[in-house]
Amino acid sequence: MKQNNILTIVIPCFNEEEVLPETVKEIGNILQNLMSDGKVSDNSKILFVNDGSKDKTWSLIEKYSHQYSYVTGLKFSRNYGHQNALLAGMSTAVDYSDMIITIDADLQDDVHAIPQMVDKRLDGYDVVYGVRNSRKTDTVFKRKTALAFYNLMGKLGVKLVPDSADYRLLSNRATRALLKFKERNLFLRGMVPLVGYKSTKVYYARKERYAGKSKYPLNKMIHFALDGITSFSIAPIHLIMYLGLITVIISIICMIYTFVEKVMGHVVSGWASIMISIWLLGGIQLISISVIGEYVGKIFSEVKHRPRFTIEFENYTKKMRAK
């Protein structure tokens, strides 16, 4: 038994009472098999992070925590969001774990890829990305928008791993390097590649959600995408500048055209051209102010240095120290 290979599987939860029993069963079996095979320490754990759930999620986590020695829980005082839940789990586990795997509770990401990730870590890789090689269970709209997002981020110069979400393994040193990033506007998919270190991929087919409803509806997906773009690129600011230059050029052309028409005596008065110009320029100005405001808002959020989350209760540390 390699006692130093302690694995912690961090699972963020938000209103997951319907799927949690199956999640504990499936991931618990995977973890027990890894321990039996001697690939990870007997002190390895599953760490559920309750992100302000309103249902029975936390009571179930407490129940399983008493029932299974390898199940632990962390409870937020309120909802802080999926990315903060992942970060809290990693922050709690990093002092005791040699490797950390993050995965969502909905079982859409194939849990049978976990042993492959561990094997890759034992081969010397610090970062192992779980990559979807099939997204047939997603809607056509979601597949198309995801592809467009990854293409856009690539053109903006942001290094992402296509079709890789927040299902990954990080070594202890990779986790510590990631935790040195202090921004409040988290986009872990873009932050992890910045860590560097030796990385590889494990491929799997995405499944349908086992139970319950998706916690990422369209509005959250859009907000998440905007966070990713504005947190890693100032290209939108450059776009505003180019848009302004194009508008000025068009305005100059219109002025020359108007002057020529005046000289030739072909003056035609009308409200259409005036109103179109007003609405066009007004729309450009509002869009520009909104984009700049998005960046100013992020600066405002960062400079306050408020805590990313508040932990109300956690028993992970207690269980780890008991060994």
Of 116, 50, 37, 112, nearest to 80 by C-alpha is: 50
Per-residue pLDDT of the chain (323 residues; tens, 9 = 90+): 345 789 999 999 998 888 899 999 999 999 999 999 889 998 899 999 998 888 899 999 999 988 998 999 999 988 888 888 999 999 999 999 999 999 998 888 888 999 999 999 999 899 999 888 865 655 666 666 666 666 666 666 667 777 778 899 999 999 999 888 887 777 787 788 888 888 898 898 877 765 556 555 556 666 666 666 666 666 666 676 677 667 766 766 766 766 666 667 665 565 456 656 666 677 677 677 777 776 776 676 666 676 777 787 878 888 777 76
Write down the H helix ranges in 216-310.
218-232, 235-263, 271-303
**One-letter amino acid of 218:** L
**Taking CA 16 as the corner, what is the angle to CA 11 and CA 17, rounded to the nearest 5 degrees?**
125
| 9: β partners | 46, 101
pLDDT at 316: 83
pLDDT at 81: 84
* Cβ contact 57:18 at 8 Å: no
Local structure of residue 308 (DSSP, 8 states): S
- Extract the runs of DSSP E, i.e. beta strands, from 77-228: 99-102, 127-134, 168-171, 199-205
Kindly tell me the burial class for residue 287, based on how many C-beta atoms sit within 10 Å of its own C-beta (0-12, 13-18, 19 or more). Answer: middle
| Separation CA 65–CA 200 (nearest Å) | 33
* Cβ contact 158:277 at 8 Å: no
- Extract the runs of DSSP E, i.e. beta strands, from 77-176: 99-102, 127-134, 168-171
In which order are the strands placed within the sheet that holds 311-314? 199-205, 127-134, 168-171, 99-102, 7-13, 45-50, 71-76, 311-314
Of 51, 42, 9, nearest to 26 by C-alpha is: 9
Token pair for residue 153?
A: 């981020």
Helix or strand holding residue 314 (H, E): strand 311-314
pLDDT at 1: 36
pLDDT at 31: 93
| Separation CA 82–CA 50 (nearest Å) | 10
| Separation CA 193–CA 43 (nearest Å) | 29
| Separation CA 131–CA 126 (nearest Å) | 16
**Taking CA 55 as the corner, what is the angle to CA 49 and CA 56, rounded to the nearest 5 degrees?**
75
Supply the pTM of this predicted model: 0.69
Token pair for residue 186?
A: 């988290």
**Taking CA 322 as the corner, what is the angle to CA 316 and CA 323, rounded to the nearest 5 degrees?**
105
* CA within 13 Å, CB half, 54: 1
